[in-house]
Amino acid sequence: MLPVALVLGASFAYLLGLFGVAAWAERRAAAGRSVVGNAWVYALAMGVYCSAWTYFGSVGRAASGGVWFLPIYLGPTLAMLLAWRVLRKMVRIARAQHITSIADFIASRHGQSRGLAALVTLIAVVGIVPYIALQLKAVATGLHLLTTPAGAAAPAPGPWWADGTLGVALVLAGFTMVFGTRQHDANERHEGLVAAVAAESLVKLLAFLVVGAAVTWGMFAGPADLFARALAQPDLARLLTLGQGQAFPYAQWLALTVLAMLSVVFLPRQFQVMVVENVDERHLKRAAWVFPAYLLLINLFVLPLALGGLLHFQGRAGGGVAGADLFVLSLPLDAGWPGLALLAFIGGLSAATGMVIVEAIAVATMVCNDLVMPLLLRLPAVAQRPALGGLLLGIRRGTILALLLLGYAYFRLAGEATALVSIGLISFAAVAQFAPAMLFGMYWKGGTRAGALAGLWAGFGLWAYALMAPAIAKSGWWHTGFVSDGPFGIALLRPEQLLGLGGLDPLTHALFWSLLANAGLYVAVSLARAPSALEAGRALLFVDADRRGGPVRPVFWRGQAQLADLQALSLRFLGPVRTRQLLQAQVAGQGVPDVAALRPEAALVQAVETALAGAIGSASARLMVAQVAREEPLALDDVLAMLDEASQLRRTSQALQAQTARLEVATGELRAANARLAELDRLKDDFMASVTHELRTPLTAIRTLAELMADEPDMATPQRQRFLGIVVAETERLTRLVNQVLDLAKIEAGHAEWRSADVDLPALARQAADTVQPLLAERGATLALDLPAALPLLRADPDRLLQVLLNLLSNAAKAVPAGDGRITLRLWGDAGGVHGEVQDNGPGVPADQRALIFERFRQGGSADHRPAGTGLGLPISRQIVAHFGGQLTLRPDTGQGACFHFHLPWTPAAAEPPPPAGDTA
């Protein structure tokens, strides 16, 4: 045993540590460096699902039923498989509508009904009380076990004022009040709370794993040894089979799985951390698998602890199924590890406090917003108070205290006799009643307020009759004949075998009937009457929340309001800061200069109402706005018209976006075309400069010589003859240049004249060789011809082909070194056509020029060192070859000079347009 002071001191120190975490997180949030905006923290906060029930009760369940502790965790895993779709939609809706609780969600969906919000709150309170009792029981019995000598009998419950459980309840209530209702503005998110809950999840997981590992490896020689010893005993071995010797009740297994699936989303505390406290919906992506992984880890040592406890305490006090709920504490204590036992207790305390704090805050928000405020706001004295923030906090604090005292009362009433797990399941079955209204409401537009009310009443009633009442009766407070024989002896109404439906355990039986009646009435009553305009409008906002559309949301409101009234309303509930933010956002939306110029139109009224809903709940917000605005009733036709308008707007905005995208593409194309034009313009300028240069050189020579001859009439005849020869040569050069420019222009424009004749290419090659002979001789170069004896005739224009050959040969002649030039002209044919090659032993074409030499307005060589010629020969040659369906290319550089290659097909497939310049070189 441990000293009471030590255990209490450690517990208080732990709770203070939690405060520290919460305060730290809130300071960080205020400084803009939130720790909560993180998928891991979000996932850990979801671990609040594992309450003291998990921590202590799972081991108890495993000790009596083997694998039966698992469905409660397999269900949430299955639910999280759908979280990415379902939970994300819930988060989106809650964000758009400023929803702060599950009661608000259901009421807001079904026409902002105050009655519905109140009913959901009532179910939540009644359903959650046993669950809180469970936490109190766990902490109190744990505390008792740790601080009394081993083997001492449990004391009879003393008077209420001396009861340790009451103390636990009061401490937890105080802690929760300070924790969850510290801020003066009652806004919807609690960053500090989430951080503290995430820390608690970590503590309880680590504590449970450490205890599990210590028992498995410290008290036994590992899991294999533990299981081997358990399997050696028939009654323990039976725990490790499905049915434990009987037929396995699959229906109950499925019912538990489904129940846990629903609870993990619809328990008020789960809805709080998963939906309300969600910072960013993308966090769901990671949390959806981290949370099930957390559940798996925390369950890893449940079976070893259960079997280990049963083996260890065999035949002793504290053993057996009765003591199994506390094996987590009693095993380390009995093994002589008091420190570990204290750690285990802190883990259990962590599990219990986390659950109580979040659950109480969530339920208190519901009670305040959906039950108390709508009633209070009807009183003129309350409705006219200038600021209501303090009143809201007071109501919440009172609710928290009341809730924990109710939990204590339930514990005194019914808790002593029941195992932890069966208490928890009663609560699970209560919150499962929210499922039809929530899920139908999110995915079916036809659900109405009346349908939801009917379904919830029926489900809640059947839950109370078939599950809650027998549980209370069995704990000795009631005549059990009511359970075994039915009320007034009517057997058909026996609560655990309603209408004679037998063969099911009480939980499955109650769950089946209540959910059947709930969902059935929801659908049936909804279908009995067309939804009202308000209901239809809300349904659209919820069901279509997921649809990808434009930013436009329909506004279902019509009436008249004053800006001053709306502003005053917002100031009372939201305070000056948030009111200013709210109105500023609207200024941008309406496109007016400042807040004073805002028009109180429907969108503004809607925005104020939605923001108010975050503080006082959707139903109360509706009431307050209706008080300050003169509203006109909407008919269903109006809603449809507004929806049409909204979808028209959405279509228009989509069309606008598409148009913008198209314009952007067109602009990009235009810009590219413009750049290309500018480039062409520059090339043209270069070319003009080059051409005028080429024209001016011969012209200058001609003019100079002509002037000389004019100035000297008695010039010697040989001299005159020489000058005239030069003038003629320069004129020829001019003619050639002008011809080439014209030629290229004609070919490019498609106006060139093409002759068609049968061409003997080898003969043409020899003719070309003869023609360039003088030039070669001048350069001291030799030309080698490598021609086949005969080639089939080619259908083409011989003059043009000669032009190509001459151009290639003269280019080569200009490129080879003076006096030592070697040029080779090769021709050969194949199946496709004829190939030609002109190879020289010059320096070759520099790498950076290879792509340019075929361009129309470019010339090889640098600007200040242009080779002789016009720079048009190659482009013209390429155009000619292309005209006959062939290709003229520069062979890859081999370091032995330049090698131009052309290929002409035997049968040109019609005259193809020339390829764009520069894409094949």
Partner 1 sequence: MKPLIRGGHRIPCFGGRRCVRLVSACRRQNLQVPPTDAPLTGPRLAALFVAGLLLLNFPLLALWDHPVTVWGLPLLPAALFAIWAGLIAVLAWLLERLPD
Residues found near partner 1 in the complex (CB under 8 A): 66-67, 70, 74, 77-78, 80-82, 84-85, 222-225, 227-228, 231, 237, 240-243, 248, 250, 253-254, 257, 282, 285-286, 288-289, 292-293, 296, 300, 303
Give the distance from CA 781 to its chain's centroid.
74
610 contact partners, CB below 8 Å, separation of at least 6: 96, 97, 98, 621
CB 299 within 8 A of CB 74: no
What is the smallest separation between the CB atom of 916 and partner 1, expressed in angstroms?
17
- Please report how close the Cβ of residue 279 comes to partner 1 at its closest, in angstroms: 15
Give the nearest distance from C-beta 67 to partner 1 in angstroms.
6
- Closest approach of Cβ 201 to partner 1, in Å? 17
Cα separation, 776 vs 779, in Å, equals 5
**CA dist., res. 700 & res. 745, Å (int):** 26
Nearer to partner 1, 257 or 877 (CB): 257
What distance in Å separates the CA atoms of residue 62 and residue 68, rounded to the nearest whole number?
6
The count of other CB atoms within 10 Å of the CB of residue 457 is: 16
Q: Which is nearer to partner 1, 70 or 806 (CB)?
A: 70
- Counting Cα atoms < 13 Å in the Cβ hemisphere of 891 gives 17
- Which amino acid is it at 247? A
Sheet containing strand 899-905, strands side by side = 781-786, 821-829, 833-840, 899-905, 887-890
Least Å from the CB of residue 793 to partner 1: 43
Contact indicator for 743, 876 with CB cutoff of 8 Å: yes
* 426, 130 contact by CB (below 8 A): yes
Nearer to partner 1, 53 or 227 (CB): 227
| Shortest Cβ 301–partner 1 spacing (Å) | 11
What backbone phi and psi angles, to 5 degrees, belong to 637? -60, -40
- Count how many residues are written for the chain: 921
Nearer to partner 1, 67 or 202 (CB): 67
Residue 801: name the closest of 688, 877, 869, 856 by CA: 877
> Which residue, 292 or 897, has its beta carbon nearer to partner 1?
292
CA distance 441 to 110: 8
Residue 886 burial (CB count, 10 A):
23
892 in helix, strand or coil?
Answer: coil
Tokens of 762: 């080898």
Distance in Å, CB of 83 to partner 1, minimum: 9
Minimal distance, residue 284 CB to partner 1, in Å: 8
**Residue number, 182 or 229, with CB nearest to partner 1:** 229
The nearest distance, CB 300 to partner 1, in angstroms, is 8
Helix axes 420-431, 58-65, angle to 10 degrees: 110
Nearest approach, Cβ of residue 102 and partner 1 (Å): 23
Minimum Å distance from CB 662 to partner 1? 12
Chain centroid to Cα 421, Å, comes to 36
For residue 889, the SS3 value is strand
CB nearer partner 1, residue 221 or residue 527: 221
Q: Which is nearer to partner 1, 220 or 428 (CB)?
A: 220
Task: Determine the Cα angle at 511 with ends 507 and 514, to 5°.
Answer: 135
Stated as kind and residue range, the H or E segment containing 32 is none
Nearest approach in angstroms of CB 244 to partner 1 is 10
Nearer to partner 1 by C-beta: 252 or 811?
A: 252
Nearest Cα to Cα of residue 738 among 690, 695, 697, 684: 695
Tokens of 637: 């036709």
Q: 10 Å Cβ neighbour count for 856?
A: 19
In the complex with partner 1, which residue's Cβ is closer, 140 or 239?
Answer: 239
Q: Which is nearer to partner 1, 286 or 901 (CB)?
A: 286
Query: Of 50 and 400, which has the nearer Cβ to partner 1?
Result: 50
In this structure, the strands spanning 781-786 and 821-829 are parallel
Residue 921 exposed, middle or buried by CB count within 10 Å (0-12, 13-18, 19+)? middle
- What is the DSSP secondary-structure string of 166-183? HHHHHHHHHHHHHHHT-S
- Per DSSP bridges, beta strands 899-905 and 833-840 are antiparallel
Residue 317, SS3 per DSSP: coil
For partner 1, the closer of residues 102 and 260 by Cβ is: 260
CB of 238 to partner 1, least distance (A): 10
Pick the closer one to partner 1 by CB: 224 or 585. Answer: 224
CB of 93: closest distance to partner 1 in angstroms? Answer: 18
